[in-house]
């Protein structure tokens, strides 16, 4: 199977909402902003954050996309590497599909084709992210280096209370 | 410091930043922070011999946050980064230094707010642009109302017809 018709069933397919395993914690926020090397005091200075438009410590705007971690009671993804020295380590990555059913395809190599993101509000410490994913486009194309499958996933991120955080439209290129 | 729409003009550099050299330790710190165990980001032997890459790669996911930081800081605390779109044009590898730039290309007023479209890019120390796109920020007008937060866009807010490089 590898025709445009085969991929039609994925067009518009919505996944179940995915709730982050943990609410945003101060220490996770500290590690995160250190990793992105953003020393904005609004991420760690409570007095400054309280007086800001965020009304308290809040994450960087794009944090919700990376708010998803494996729950503690799930299998250790590093076991895969222990058992198979050729494993690439991507097992267990919550990734970009946010629980959408994988697309059946013959392609194995994945490239990120780019993102379009719209921001509404930042996630506050103590809040939990919810992702609402959808396949919006699945198109087979002939490129210079052969056939490829372009997959666009649109994921709305909100708080558990349903307040919109951001909208991320990501295009993945499978070859 | 408040950045007002009135003080921003097309052709002006809204913001710049520099990060690096990004060492394997920086890349590993990001991978650990987001629990991404893809070996091309920390296992040099795997990256080179298995995936035939020039070195371990700086994560695209990390570069997204650098572009967002660039715009956030450029717009200042009274502004809001509404939209950003970008494409990855080439790989960045360990020991690269990334330089981010945001240049204003167009501006428009709507609903008592100032909208600025910027060309954004990350380039390395070899002047190679690895990530490029367009961002739209919202700024207050001098003497005007605050940019609302949370930011709820309206249907008639400007859609800039600008293409990324």
Is any Cβ of chain A less than 8 angstroms from the Cβ of B91?
A: no
pLDDT in tens, B131-142: 999 999 999 999
Report the domain count for chain B: 1
Q: At what angle do helices A26-36 and B24-34 cross, to 10 degrees?
A: 150
> Is B77 within 8 Å of A53 when comparing Cβ atoms?
yes
pLDDT at residue B125 in the model: 95
- Percent of chain A at pLDDT above 90? 68
Q: Which residue, among A98, A85, A125, has the nearest Cα to A13 in the 3D structure?
A: A98
pLDDT in tens, B30-53: 999 999 888 899 999 999 998 899
**Within 10 Å of residue B21's Cβ, how many Cβ atoms?**
12
A window 55-114, beta carbon within 8 A of B: 60-62, 65-66, 69-70, 77-78, 81, 86-93, 111-114
**∠ CA A18-B71-B31, rounded to 5°:** 50
B162, part of any domain: no
The CATH number covering residue B104 comes to 3.10.129.10
B9, part of any domain: yes
Which DSSP string do the residues of A119-136 spell out, in sequence order? E--PPBTT--EEEEEEEE
Shortest Cα distance from A69 to chain B (angstroms)? 7
ipTM rounded to 2 decimals? 0.94
CATH number, span A4-69+98-174: 3.10.129.10
B159, part of any domain: no
> Is B85 within 8 Å of A78 when comparing Cβ atoms?
no
For residue A84, CA distances in Å to A77, A78, A89, A108, A155 come to: 12, 10, 10, 17, 32
pLDDT in tens, A50-109: 999 999 999 999 999 999 988 888 888 888 888 888 888 876 666 678 889 989 999 887
> Is B68 within 8 Å of A120 when comparing Cβ atoms?
no
> Is B83 within 8 Å of A90 when comparing Cβ atoms?
no
What's B81-122 look like in SS3? EEEEEEEECCCCECCCCEEEEEEEEEEEEECCEEEEEEEEEE
Residues of chain B contacting residue A70, judged by C-beta atoms under 8 Å apart = 35
Paired tokens of A81: 């590497």
Paired tokens of B105: 């290309």
Residue A132 has pLDDT above 80, yes or no: yes
Owning domain of residue B24:
5-140
Q: Which residue, among B86, B90, B80, has the nearest Cα to B115 in the 3D structure?
A: B80
pLDDT at residue A144 in the model: 82
Residues B79 and B146: beta-carbon distance below 8 Å: no
Residues B123 and B103: beta-carbon distance below 8 Å: no
Judge if the upstream peptide bond of residue B150 is cis by omega within 30 degrees of 0. Answer: yes
Of A36, A120, A164, the CB nearest to B65: A36
> Is A118 within 8 Å of B153 when comparing Cβ atoms?
yes
CA pair distance B53, A88, nearest whole angstrom:
13
> Is B150 within 8 Å of A120 when comparing Cβ atoms?
yes
CB-neighbour burial class of residue A95 (10 A; exposed 0-12, middle 13-18, buried 19+): middle
Paired tokens of A174: 């499978």
């Amino acid at each position: 199977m590898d025709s445009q018709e085969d991929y039609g069933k994925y067009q518009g397919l919505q996944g179940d909402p995915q709730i982050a395993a943990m609410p945003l914690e101060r220490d996770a926020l500290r590690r995160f902003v250190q990793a992105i090397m953003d020393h904005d005091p609004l991420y760690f200075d409570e007095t400054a954050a309280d007086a800001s438009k965020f009304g308290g410590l809040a994450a960087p705007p794009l944090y919700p996309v990376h708010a998803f971690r494996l729950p503690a009671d799930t299998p250790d993804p590093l076991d895969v590497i222990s058992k198979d020295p050729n494993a690439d380590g991507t097992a267990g990555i919550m990734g970009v599909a946010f629980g959408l059913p994988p697309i059946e395809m013959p392609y194995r190599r994945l490239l990120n084709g780019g993102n379009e993101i719209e921001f509404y509000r930042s996630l506050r410490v103590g809040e939990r992210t919810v992702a609402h994913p959808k396949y919006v486009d699945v198109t087979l194309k002939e490129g210079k280096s052969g056939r490829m499958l372009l997959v666009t996933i649109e994921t709305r991120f909100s708080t558990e209370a349903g307040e919109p955080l951001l909208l991320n439209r990501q295009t993945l290129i499978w070859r | 410091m408040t950045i007002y729409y009135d003080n921003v003009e097309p052709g002006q550099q809204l913001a710049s930043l520099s990060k690096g050299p990004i060492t394997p330790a920086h890349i590993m710190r990001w991978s650990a922070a987001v629990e991404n165990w893809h070996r091309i980001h920390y296992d040099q032997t795997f990256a080179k011999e298995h995936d035939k890459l020039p070195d371990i790669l700086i994560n695209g996911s990390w570069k997204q946050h650098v572009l967002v930081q660039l715009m956030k800081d450029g717009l200042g605390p009274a502004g809001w980064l509404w939209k950003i779109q970008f494409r990855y044009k080439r790989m960045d590898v360990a020991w690269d230094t990334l330089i981010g730039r945001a240049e204003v290309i167009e501006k428009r007023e709507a609903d008592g707010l100032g909208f600025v479209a910027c060309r954004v890019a990350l380039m390395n120390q070899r002047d190679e642009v690895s990530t490029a796109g367009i961002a739209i920020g919202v700024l207050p007008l001098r003497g005007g109302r605050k940019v609302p937060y949370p930011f709820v866009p309206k249907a008639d807010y400007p859609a800039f017809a600008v293409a990324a490089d």
